[in-house]
Amino acid sequence: MSAVATAPAKDLAPKILSRDPGDFEIPKGREEEWRYTPIRKMQDFFIPQSWGSVGALSSPFVEIVGPDDPRLSTTWMPTDRISAIAFAGTKKVVLITIPAEHIVEESIVVNLAGEMLNNYAHIEVQVGKFSRSQIVIIHDSTANVSGSIVTEVGDQAELTLLSVLDAEAPLKQHWNWTTNVGRDSRFLGLSISLGGEVVRIVPSVNYRAPGGSAEMLGAFLLEGDQFQEHRILVNHTEPHCVSNVVYKGALSGQGAHSVWVGDVLVRREAIGIQTYELNRNLLLNDGPRADSVPNLELETGDVVSAGHASATGRFDDEQLFYLQSRGIPESVARQLVVRGFFVDVLNKVHDQSLRENLMERIEMRLGMVTHA
């Protein structure tokens, strides 16, 4: 059924797994996974520092524990030096636990806060089997952070994990997200990243058992000379699982640079899977650069569907003209077009007030007048 030819996957999966930073070399910038990143601007992230730790207020389902807490995953391993340093350096772990069979209707909102300008972080999300919840992580928009989010989605659980990074200051943040999807469980990861001097987010999805589904959606916005990288890895090792990756980016300013890499690996055993990945970027003016690298590697042709798409385009003056020719003022017309661009990602935010709030943040960032 697939239109994509099968090929032996050159091994994109991480080769070294270790909690010891010394097991990894300091990247030089030529390595495949770092070749787009301005690593000069992140030197401090590759050398252990005495940085603060990121915490949050305790609340139902949310507590702050030490990195040696026995409830934390013992199997999770950093896959690069930067994450190993962050885990070795943090004194706090934000542990979010949803008990098995628990249905939480209200969104659980976690406001992360660093102790200093520079911080390490570790967030662990443990979602019990048959549970259902929506967790909103609001990142500290005043601090530099290097950290990981480790998520374990129990069998037949449903989890929506929304991450909002709205950095107004020229901040640097690096995040490694690892999500393990259980049998027949459904994971929806939503990544909203607005601004930041250097933001690099590396989400990966692993399947623990057959029948799991993972959707990874992202909306990102860059201005000025900001850099953002979203490097996604979906590792299909189990049969009859689903992955759907959709990232939309809007860029303005002169030196803005975004990178989206979507690596999807489908192993020989992963028969009957469905996978799709899409990245679309909207350039609001001349100047920004958007790199978009979808990469689908199939070791089996026995899949239900497999596809990818990627496109980067200028803000379309013809669209503006059409809307304006119907009496719609330019500012409202621009707003309509940008809303329309992000709508399929933002519509997945089921909480209406949160959705509106995010849309307004995006519009504010784009310098658009907001209309009732």
Q: How far is the CB of 313 from other proteins (least distance, A)?
A: 10
Q: What b/e string do you get for 56-70 counting C-beta neighbours within 10 Å, with b at 16 or more?
A: beeeebbbbbebeee
Measured between alpha carbons, how far is 186 from 165 in angstroms, rounded to an integer? 23
Q: How far is the CB of 327 from other proteins (least distance, A)?
A: 4
C-beta closer to other proteins: residue 313 or 367: 313
Measured between alpha carbons, how far is 297 from 305 in angstroms, rounded to an integer? 13
Q: How far is the CB of 321 from other proteins (least distance, A)?
A: 6
Measured between alpha carbons, how far is 122 from 95 in angstroms, rounded to an integer? 9
Contact residues toward other proteins (CB under 8 A) are 316-319, 321-330, 332-333, 336-337, 339-344
C-beta closer to other proteins: residue 40 or 326: 326
**Helix, coil or strand: residue 21:** helix
| C-alpha to C-alpha distances, 239 to 142, 209, 210, 236, 262, nearest whole angstrom | 43, 8, 5, 8, 20
C-beta closer to other proteins: residue 142 or 321: 321
* 45: amino acid identity, one letter: F
Location of structure tokens 């798409």 = 309
Measured between alpha carbons, how far is 296 from 323 in angstroms, rounded to an integer? 37
Q: How far is the CB of 292 from other proteins (least distance, A)?
A: 17
C-beta closer to other proteins: residue 266 or 282: 282
Q: How far is the CB of 88 from other proteins (least distance, A)?
A: 44
C-beta closer to other proteins: residue 3 or 372: 372
